[in-house]
């Protein structure tokens, strides 16, 4: 069985509950994490350390999210995004977590002060894949953080079709939210992604409580894509999609507790 986990965003308590529930309840042979394990929440370092420590327990596949790409760009000073985008906009809580300082103090730190705290983890972040394919007895799944950039281009060719600016940011599978608009299957795959949370910071308590994965189907009621980002970092839920050898699936979700 596979356990496919949506956007964690630094929520360590909720992650632990979901992880151990999946381990105890199902015969999981591989965990797949859809990216954005960091940022927004307050415990990104704890999440990273927990997942790195669990790698000896079962097979794990980590897929790169746009937040990991922003972090890599900032720490390694690659210049693919403007400097302020990660640290000042979405990564401030992560900086505070890794440096073990208040968020207010993290906001005053320069790149050169921040980078040394992340260097021991960069091999881990740089090992994340862009997508992962699993074929069961009855169907094929393509897992990625966000969707493919082009519906009519196979996954291994996506990058070639990007503009030069998009290539600098490894655009496919990191930023696209268009899977919800696809009318037909993408190369016979069921797409499973996160990135596009079904709730947000403006959602009501009732909406957060009712957050469930979004399943998109074609005119013949065949599943095209499934979004399992149920907005944990906004006070929603953290969700895992459990897939058996036949391709049948169910969901396990835990409300935010961080």
For 146-202, the pLDDT digits (tens) are: 999 999 999 999 999 999 888 888 889 999 888 888 999 999 999 999 999 999 999
Position 83 pLDDT exceeds 90 = no
pTM of the shown model: 0.96
pLDDT tens, residue by residue, 22-40: 999 999 999 999 999 999 9
What pLDDT is attached to residue 90? Answer: 85
Expressed as residue numbers, the domain containing 107 is 2-255
pLDDT given at position 139: 93
Residue with tokens 């042979």: 29
CATH number at residue 183: 3.60.21.10
Query: What pLDDT score does 226 carry?
Result: 98
Tens digit of each residue's pLDDT (9 = 90 or more) over 85-132: 887 778 999 999 999 999 999 999 988 999 999 999 999 999 999 999
Per-residue model confidence (pLDDT) at position 55? 93
The average pLDDT across 70-91 equals 87
- Count of the separate structural domains present in the chain: 1
């Amino acid at each position: 069985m596979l356990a496919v986990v949506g956007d964690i965003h630094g929520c360590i308590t909720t992650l632990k509950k979901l992880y151990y529930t999946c381990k105890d309840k199902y015969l999981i042979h591989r965990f797949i994490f859809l990216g954005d394990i960091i940022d927004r929440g307050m415990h990104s370092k704890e999440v990273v350390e927990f997942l790195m420590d669990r790698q000896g327990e079962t097979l794990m596949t980590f897929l790169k999210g746009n937040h990991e790409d922003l972090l890599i760009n900032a720490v390694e000073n690659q210049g693919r995004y403007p400097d302020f985008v990660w640290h000042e906009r979405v990564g401030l809580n992560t900086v505070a977590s890794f440096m073990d300082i208040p968020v207010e103090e993290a906001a005053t730190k320069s790149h050169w002060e921040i980078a040394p705290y992340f260097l021991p983890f960069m091999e881990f972040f740089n090992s994340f894949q862009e997508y992962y394919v699993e074929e069961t007895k009855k169907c094929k799944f393509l897992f990625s953080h966000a969707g493919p950039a082009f519906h009519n281009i196979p996954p291994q060719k996506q990058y070639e079709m990007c503009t030069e600016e998009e290539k600098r940011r490894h655009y496919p599978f990191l930023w696209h939210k268009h899977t919800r608009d696809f009318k037909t299957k993408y190369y016979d795959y069921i797409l499973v992604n996160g990135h596009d949370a079904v709730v947000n910071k403006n959602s009501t308590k009732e909406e957060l409580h009712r957050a469930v994965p979004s399943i998109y189907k074609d005119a013949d009621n065949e599943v095209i894509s499934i979004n399992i980002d149920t907005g944990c970092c906004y006070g929603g839920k953290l969700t895992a999609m459990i897939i058996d050898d036949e391709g049948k699936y169910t969901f396990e979700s835990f409300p935010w507790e961080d």
